A = this chain, B = another copy of it.
Amino acid sequence: MAKKTTKKKTTKKPTAKSQPAASKKKIVRKKRNAADTGARLVDMANSVADQISREMDPGVHIPTRALSNVNFDKKSGLIVMGSNAQRRSFFNVGMAKKFMQTTLVAAGCKQLIDQKKTTSIRDLFYHTKHTIPGTKENTFDEQSESDPIIEDLEVAMASLREELGLFAEPKGAMVGPMVIEDNGDTIDLSKMGSGGWAIPSIVEDHIIKFKRGGAKFVLLIEKGAVWRRFSEDRFWEKHKCMIIHGGGQPPRGVRRLMWRMHQELKLPVYVLVDNDPWGYYIYSVVKQGSINLAFESQRMAIPAARFIGMSAYDAAKFDIPKAVSINLTEQDKRRAKEVAAYPWFASKPWQREIRQMLKLGVKLELEALSNKDFSFITEQYLPQKLKDKQWLD
Contacts and interface: CB of A to CB of B under 8 A. Distances in A.
Interface of A: 111-112, 115, 117-120, 122-127, 129-131, 138, 167-170, 173, 180-187, 191-202, 207-208, 223-226, 228-229, 232, 247, 321-324, 365, 367-371, 374-375
Contacts of A324: 126, 129-130
Nearest 5 A/B pairs, CB to CB: A182-B193, A120-B225, A198-B198, A195-B200, A185-B191
**Interface hub of A195, A225, A228 (most chain B Cβ within 10 A):** A195
18 contacts: A115-B375, A118-B228, A120-B228, A120-B367, A123-B225, A125-B367, A130-B371, A131-B322, A169-B224, A173-B198, A182-B192, A182-B195, A183-B193, A183-B194, A192-B198, A193-B200, A194-B200, A197-B197
A191 B186 contact: yes
Secondary structure of the A contact surface, majority rule: mixed
Nearest to A372: B127
A122 B326 CA distance: 14
Given A117-B374, A367-B126, A131 B195 contact: no
A140 B347 CA distance: 38
A192 to B, nearest CB: 6
Nearest to A322: B131
Copies assembled: 2
Given A115-B375, A126-B324, A197-B198, 18 more contacts: A120-B226, A122-B367, A123-B225, A123-B229, A123-B374, A125-B367, A126-B368, A127-B370, A127-B371, A130-B371, A167-B225, A168-B225, A169-B247, A170-B228, A185-B193, A193-B208, A195-B198, A195-B200
B192 A187 contact: yes
Contact of A195 (B181, B199, B368, B375): B199
A30 to B, nearest CB: 24
A197 B195 contact: yes
Nearest to A371: B126
A322 B126 CA distance: 11
